């Protein structure tokens, strides 16, 4: 974790001033930090037992210290904040606002996810900061964006999954389970995908804006909205609607445009069969001992299988139930037919492929000997992702960063005495 001993990273020398919290913004800035940016996370000072990023308290589970006791660091917070430095600043105070402006003048990127209008009230909006630093890339992340009739609303992933159409196509179909039956009706995705996708889109937009800045000397404002992102990530289902005018419905674990591409029950549980083309379907039929199905004109082409889904799927369901999961997986993998198990997270992190790809990382932490986190999936051959710092304690780097800005120890002591930091 010694920065000086690491090779140069692609974003080395880029400073990100991060005024975001919870998930979408921190996910964006963690991605930039993993690529080498110096991310300075601005958090609320601790007052009356409350402060910092809200997610620090979103537990249990919490990180356990060397003695097995819960700390104040939630697993949720730890999962989105590595490679950052934490500085506490009260931006509600004029002196705190002045401090942020001073920091923005020395930064390349500014990320915030406050409600529309909050930053302007503090004099920290994009127009104000770009006037101070015309090379700044200023990224706002909100629920609904800086324009439109919903601009003043607070935005939350769960609500956006519903408003943006994702829940209308997620969950069991009405043919499987009635809407009013237990387990029926629309469902959200198990993780906050609108937040996560917005964070990833935001990091991509920031990189594009940095490239433009480096070419022209001009910074710019980026307006990211959870709802916009959710609509965009409807992908093929959004395209289906725009092409036909017919809103896709929930299909459970089945695919809207490919058959068979879904979960099937086998003799000892469930598994995924993901046939993506006609050749794969023919090979599946051979493994299943039902080659006549691949020659049947109702099922020979994917378009025919989609149109005759109601006939074909029950036939396949009966075939799949006759054999166990390991038998199917071994036979189908040998025949190069896409398939897979449905793992819980214990099985995921025990999987030899996940282990071979290095998808966990262990580092020391001020409160624990070993902190295990999910690793970045980005594999770069020349400038690999670096794990320089564990997720910071609240305000851990306040003195360090303010000293780098040119403040004296007396300056910092005065700010701390007045509650600004």
Supply the residues annotated as catalytic: 195
* Pick from 296, 358, 351: nearest CA to 329: 351
Q: Which two tokens stand for residue 282?
A: 């023919």
d(CA 236, CA 242): 10
Q: Chain-centre distance of CA 348, in angstroms? A: 18
Instruction: Dump the DSSP string for 100-155.
Output: HHHHHHT-SEEEE-PPTTHHHHTT-SHHHHHHH-TT-EEEEEESS-SSSTTTTS--
Instruction: Dump the DSSP string for 251-310.
Output: -TTS-SS-SSEEEEEETTEEEEEE--SHHHHHHHHHHHT-HHHHHSTTTSSHHHHHHTHH
| Residue whose entry in the numeric block shows the structure tokens 């105070």 | 93
Integer CA distances (angstroms), 400 to 1, 9, 88, 237, 407, in order: 17, 22, 12, 49, 10
- Helix, strand or coil, per DSSP, at residue 333: helix
- Helix, strand or coil, per DSSP, at residue 86: strand
Asked if residues 340 and 272 have their Cβ atoms less than 8 Å apart, the reply is: yes
* Pick from 360, 401, 398, 391: nearest CA to 73: 391
């Amino acid at each position: 974790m010694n920065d000086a001993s690491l090779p140069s990273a692609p974003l080395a020398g880029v400073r990100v001033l991060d005024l975001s919290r919870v998930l979408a913004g921190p996910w964006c800035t963690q991605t930039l930090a993993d690529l080498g940016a110096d991310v300075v996370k601005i958090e609320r000072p601790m007052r009356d037992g409350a402060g910092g990023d809200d997610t620090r308290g979103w537990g249990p589970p919490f990180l356990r210290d060397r003695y097995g006791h819960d700390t104040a660091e939630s697993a949720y917070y730890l999962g989105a904040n590595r490679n950052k430095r934490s500085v506490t600043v009260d931006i509600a105070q004029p002196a705190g606002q002045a401090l942020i402006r001073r920091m923005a003048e020395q930064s390349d990127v500014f990320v915030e996810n406050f409600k529309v209008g909050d930053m302007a009230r503090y004099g920290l909006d994009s127009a104000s900061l770009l006037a101070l630093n015309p090379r700044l890339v200023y990224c706002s992340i909100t629920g609904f964006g800086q324009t439109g009739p919903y601009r003043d609303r607070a935005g939350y992933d769960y609500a956006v999954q519903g408003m943006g159409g994702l829940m209308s196509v997620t969950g069991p179909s009405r043919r499987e389970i009635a809407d009013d039956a237990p387990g029926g009706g629309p469902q959200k995705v198990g993780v906050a995908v609108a937040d996560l996708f917005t964070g990833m889109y935001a990091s991509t937009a920031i990189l594009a804006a940095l490239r433009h800045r480096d070419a022209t000397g001009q910074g710019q404002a980026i307006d990211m909205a959870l709802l916009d992102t959710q609509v965009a990530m409807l992908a093929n289902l959004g395209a289906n609607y725009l092409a036909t005018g017919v809103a896709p419905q929930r299909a459970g674990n089945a695919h809207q445009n490919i058959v068979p591409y879904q979960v099937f029950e086998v003799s000892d549980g469930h598994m995924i069969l993901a046939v993506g083309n006609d050749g794969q379907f023919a090979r599946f039929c051979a493994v299943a001992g039902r080659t006549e199905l691949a020659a049947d004109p109702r099922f020979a082409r994917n378009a025919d299988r989609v149109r005759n889904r109601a006939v074909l799927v029950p036939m396949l369901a009966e075939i799949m139930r006759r054999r166990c999961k390991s038998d199917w997986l071994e036979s189908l993998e040998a025949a190069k037919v896409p398939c897979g198990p449905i793992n819980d997270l214990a099985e995921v992190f025990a999987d030899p492929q996940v282990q071979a790809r290095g998808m966990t990382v262990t580092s020391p932490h001020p409160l624990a000997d070993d902190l295990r986190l999910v690793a970045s999936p980005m594999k770069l051959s020349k400038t690999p992702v670096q794990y320089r710092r564990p997720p910071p304690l609240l305000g851990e780097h306040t003195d360090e960063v303010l000293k780098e800005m040119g403040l004296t120890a007396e300056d910092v002591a005065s700010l701390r005495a007045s509650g600004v930091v």
